[in-house]
Amino acid sequence: MSDRSVLELLATHPFTADLSEDQQAQLAACARIAHFEPDEYLLREGQPATAFYLIVSGLVSIEVFVPGHGPRPLQTVEGGSAVGWSWMLAPSRWEFDARALERTTAVVFDAERLRALFLEDCCLGLRLVQRLLFIVTERLRAARLQLLDLYGPPRER
Amino acid sequence: MVKPAIATPAATNPFFPLPFLVISRRRETRDTVTLRLRPLSDVRLIAQPGQFMMLSVYGVGEVPISVSGLPRRPGELEHTIRAVGSVTRHLVALHPGDQIGVRGPFGTSWPLQLAHGQDVLLVAGGLGFAPLRSALLAILRERWRYRQVIVLYGARSPADLLYRRDLSRWLQRPDLVLRITVDHPDQYWRGQVGVVPNLIRQVTAFFEPANTVAMICGPEIMMRFTIRELQKHGIPDERIFLSLERNMQCAIGLCGHCQLGPFFLCKDGPVLPYSRLAPFSEIREF
Ligand SMILES: Cc1cc2nc3c(=O)[nH]c(=O)nc-3n(C[C@H](O)[C@H](O)[C@H](O)COP(=O)(O)OP(=O)(O)OC[C@H]3O[C@@H](n4cnc5c(N)ncnc54)[C@H](O)[C@@H]3O)c2cc1C
Ligand code: FES
């Protein structure tokens, strides 16, 4: 798909919609559109983290593989959100699996070019890192709530 | 034939349980059942969605339980009960033909009239779906009165989902937005995983914050995080309604068992707008 389609998606995705057209164009130059079929993996634990995914539509399961049990979903991520930040931090390897549960469309950024862009344009870099931090914080809060086992019987809470 | 009297709490002695017959029992989950009850007397207790009844098992005790359905015949009651202790364990073990005592209805109800002509957002966590189900059934019965109707439901695991038959019917309805999530999926679950406040972000396109009435019921921590998320999306505090549970005894504002700050939740609640609770948010129990 052409850059224009990436641009259109960036103009409406909550992660990038309020950036300037120039900034969206800079980002579009590092990205492509990808489609994933149900059960197809976007990324695998332990592999080099070379991409950042803005989920446009569909549903993605963030999971860990438990020997003897298979994949254990931890959280799902839907259209309008993002997947993967391990590329920002050394050693840049994925810590979990991400698998499409439904047909999923994503804007996939090349991590190396994105890192270079962040260094070149620190203002844009800072804005996007803040957004990523916001998502990381939301996921952390959700994970903490899940740990509380809120809906368990009163005595077990 | 004598016309049955329609009872309000004032028309009957609020301390005196009336006999009811269990006419059906549906198992919802491992520890939860839904009972339909029919009065054995001519008195009809008319409960509104959000209100609760005091259900008593003779010789065991009495507990507050919300109405979870609408009457199919005048005077019938429907309740969803989870076995957590002595009284609820006895209630869950009842079968058609068994008798129990019922007092009520007590407390405030969901603001269904306020929601006429508005978008309605129901957020349920765990057993909190029980009181919201009766609101949803009332809304769907008069669907034309409301704009968008959005239901967000979070449960512990797929095996803990209540009202499965309703859920699969509701998922087919084009006039209802229903999103379900679980905290702990099993290997067959293909739906969303995560906590229920996270679902709000996904449905913002369906409601106009200033014209939305939100109703929340679930564990208090879940409600706290849900309120924050609703506030982030611009729903005013006076349009966010919660159902709060406290241990209750008299249910008519006499004993003080259910006190939370200045409120006696058996009569000022259980349903309250967050704008009334917010000034007392230093109460860590909420
Ligand atoms: C307004 C209102 C509506 C309710 N609606 C429903 C309903 O629709 N379905 C339902 O199953 N339950 C509902 N409850 C909760 C129900 O009343 C309690 O589970 C019940 O009183 C427990 O009594 P028990 O004798 O079985 O257990 P107990 O032996 O009294 O208690 C067992 C355990 O449950 C805890 N517990 C007791 N009461 C509550 C409570 N209110 N909230 C949280 N934990 C509690 C106790 O601390 C203890 O750990 C409602 C409560 C209120 C106040
Ligand atoms: S239960 Fe007695 S005052 Fe509320």
Taking the domains of chain A in order of start, what are their residue ranges? 6-148
> Please, which pLDDT band fits residue B154 given cuts at 50, 70 and 90?
very high
Q: Are residues B270 and B189 in the same domain?
A: yes
Any atom of ligand 1 within 6 Å of the Cβ of B246 = yes
Say whether pLDDT at B10 is over 50.
no
Q: B8 in a domain, yes or no?
A: no
Any atom of ligand 2 within 6 Å of the Cβ of B255 = yes
Q: B233 in a domain, yes or no?
A: yes
Q: Are residues B126 and B174 in the same domain?
A: yes
Average confidence (pLDDT) over B136-151: 96
Any atom of ligand 1 within 6 Å of the Cβ of A157 = no
Candidates A111, A77, A76, A80; CA nearest to A9 is A80
Any atom of ligand 1 within 6 Å of the Cβ of B76 = no
- What ligand is nearest to the CA atom of residue B252? 2
Question: What is the residue whose two structure tokens read 């695991």?
Answer: B157
Say whether pLDDT at B5 is over 50.
no
B61 to A69, B23, B34, B55, B85: CA distances (angstroms)? 44, 21, 19, 8, 11
Closest ligand 1 atom, CA of B91? 26
Q: Are residues B71 and B126 in the same domain?
A: no
Q: In what order do the strands lie in the sheet with A104-110?
A: A31-36, A104-110, A51-57, A82-83
Q: B140 in a domain, yes or no?
A: yes
Mutation test of the interface with chain A: which of B177, B182, B198, choosing the one with the most A Cβ atoms within 10 A?
Answer: B198
Query: Helix, strand, coil % (nearest 5) of chain B?
Result: 25, 30, 45
Mutation test of the interface with chain A: which of B161, B190, B223, choosing the one with the most A Cβ atoms within 10 A?
Answer: B190
CA–CA distance, B256 with B250 (Å, rounded to integer): 8
Q: Are residues B151 and B122 in the same domain?
A: yes
Q: In what order do the strands lie in the sheet with B177-182?
A: B192-193, B177-182, B149-155, B119-125, B212-217, B240-243, B271-273
Q: B52 in a domain, yes or no?
A: yes
Q: Are residues B273 and B142 in the same domain?
A: yes
What is the CATH classification number for the domain harbouring B182?
3.40.50.80
Q: How far is A133 from chain B (nearest CA, A)?
A: 16
Query: Which carries the bigger pLDDT value, residue B43 or residue A125?
Result: A125
Does A101 sit within 8 Å of B225, measured CB to CB? Answer: no
Residues B268, B273, B275, B277: is their CA dihedral positive or negative? Answer: positive
User: Chain A 98-127, CB below 8 Å of chain B: which residues?
Assistant: 101
Decide if B112 contacts B49 (C-beta within 8 A): yes
CB-based contacts of B263, cutoff 8 Å, min separation 6:
B269, B272, B276, B277
Q: How many domains does chain B have?
A: 2
Q: Are residues B214 and B276 in the same domain?
A: yes
Mutation test of the interface with chain A: which of B187, B192, B196, B201, choosing the one with the most A Cβ atoms within 10 A?
Answer: B192
Domain membership of residue B98 as a residue range: 18-106
Q: Are residues B102 and B225 in the same domain?
A: no
Q: B102 in a domain, yes or no?
A: yes
What is the CATH classification number for the domain harbouring B74?
2.40.30.10
Instruction: Assign domain A6-148 to its CATH superfamily.
Output: Jelly Rolls (2.60.120.10)
Q: Are residues B119 and B75 in the same domain?
A: no
Last residue of a domain, one of B86, B106, B126: B106
Q: Are residues B89 and B195 in the same domain?
A: no
Length of chain A: 157
Q: B10 in a domain, yes or no?
A: no
Give the pLDDT of residue B247.
80
Any atom of ligand 1 within 6 Å of the Cβ of B277 = no
The Å distance, Cα A146 to ligand 1 centre, comes to 22
Average confidence (pLDDT) over B252-272: 87
Q: Are residues B146 and B71 in the same domain?
A: no
Q: How far is A40 from chain B (nearest CA, A)?
A: 14
Any atom of ligand 2 within 6 Å of the Cβ of B244 = no
* 3-class state of residue B56 by DSSP: strand
Which one of A74, A101, A150 has the shortest CB-CB distance to B126?
A: A150
Last residue of a domain, one of B57, B74, B106: B106
Q: How far is A89 from chain B (nearest CA, A)?
A: 25
pLDDT in tens, chain A (157 residues): 444 589 999 999 999 999 999 999 999 999 999 999 999 999 999 999 999 999 999 999 999 988 888 888 999 999 999 999 899 888 899 989 999 999 999 999 999 999 999 999 999 999 999 999 999 998 898 888 888 888 876 544 3
Q: Are residues B136 and B242 in the same domain?
A: yes
Mean pLDDT over all residues of chain B? 90
Give the pLDDT of residue B22.
96
Q: Are residues B145 and B195 in the same domain?
A: yes
A152 CB near a chain B CB, below 8 Å? yes
